Structure 1
């Protein structure tokens, strides 16, 4: 019987179920009044009728925390557990017929001071139950007292309301926890998305820098090839002239060995003319001093480096399309960088200028200076 009684205890009021008993979708049972109290605590803003909630809503089972969703009838739409009600009736009948008298006597507590007196009144002043002798002769003779039954019902109602309030508060806390967990997931997802966007912006900036590096390197390479080709062509000309001079020199040596004076004089005149022409290099170009220097291709990225180091997230609500247009216009005008109020530089606009001021726009052309 004791084990059966434990199974018939309501988890809200901690008393035996009172009819009608409602069965929840999770198969747990509650007194209808307790179910209504829990429902009202979980849905404080729903309309009521005659003190009872009748519109749809939801609350959690106090035994297993399963969410119970109600229709427009509220708790009155839950099914009654007639089997449990019948078991309660039989249990009460069996208890009233078989319960021994001494056990009833033991259920009534006795006064600690007057051991033969039962505790049958409640001291309102001190908030403790006591006996009649304490009220007449004892420590509570000047106190305000009330019957135990009235205080019992009041305190039981207060406890039931408190339990319902705790249940409702727990449901709200669970809702807040769910919202916080969802906020954490949203923050992580937004962070991943923004990191991806930032990386894309920087990749775009890298591609612009690589393109400018390639263009500037091509300019230097172009002038290098032009100068090297010119020097090599000049070298071939000087080589051809040297080869011709060597041939004339060989002819002159052979003529010096000619013993016949008439033949010697006959060959000397044209040979001297050839020697004079070979001795002159006026028709050959000469390289200017410093022609091999490439120092005019100087670059200075101090301004651009400062702009890159000041890159930060945009601090205002300016439209990104307008910023991109402004960045393009700044690049065409040769500006080193663009800034926004507050010292922040958008990632798309912090680019080196297309034409550094310290760099020559075109390679110097080779010059030809006739020798004197």
Structure 2
């Protein structure tokens, strides 16, 4: 590559440069992992000790608990609304106050105030000529890098186009290429972030499916055991077989859903890493260096977008209502008991099952 970064004048060295590096390191610690911006007041601290902007925490909470408002605070307080920390995936359980019940991190808020004051003072003291380093051509040492060779896909200078090895190439102004690729990269980030939010919502839904499958399976096991225990003399051996059927179906469903969760979590982690790389690239102040890194990132984004297919269980996958027994049968038929389609011969459903259990696919046939 035929350009080199020329450092600014001597004024950039010394204690001031060290102070700038310190402020930059501090800024990295004050970035919200959700919006990727400086924390905005108020800053809340989760039970896992990670910090979030309250607005970002509330957005995640609302996405994970879409029925919060409709259920009412009293019902949510009994079950515990929850969401996962975006930094460590730790499950955060909230009380009836929701995100507003989280404690504010006043220490971080005070550090933010001090940082902004110090940064404002530092920027005022920097001279304009020190704020921008120059990229100069290695072959023509006094020429600035100001054009982009479309044929070779590399930044270069005007002299290289007129007299150098790029004289037969197609070129474009460096600024126009910079703005075009920066816009493309920004659009790619927006699309990828939206896709990540969608994947996270799907993962949350599938985690809820796992909990529902476990709860329904447990309820079915309990009902099965209660009814068969009254007929222990005849049903003891068969009872173990029926419990095994429920457990095997639960294991099959949980195995599939957890496999999907693991796959989508890996996709999400890769996409988040790509977003972080893109954001760091956007912060690159030098157009040639930015363009080179942007090309690589855009290619990775295209691959990621093309491979991101979201598979989820079908509607009602978590339902275990096809496991129910009816003990109102003759005792001499117990040895032939098995799961069969339909409700009992009398056509009535168990009134204790409720609305969720009204659509039964299977019952026990005596």
- Larger-gyration structure (1/2): 1
Instruction: Report TM bin, short chain.
Output: 0.3 to 0.5
The structure whose RCO (Cα within 8 Å, separation 6+) is larger is 2
TM-score, length-scaled by structure 1: 0.38
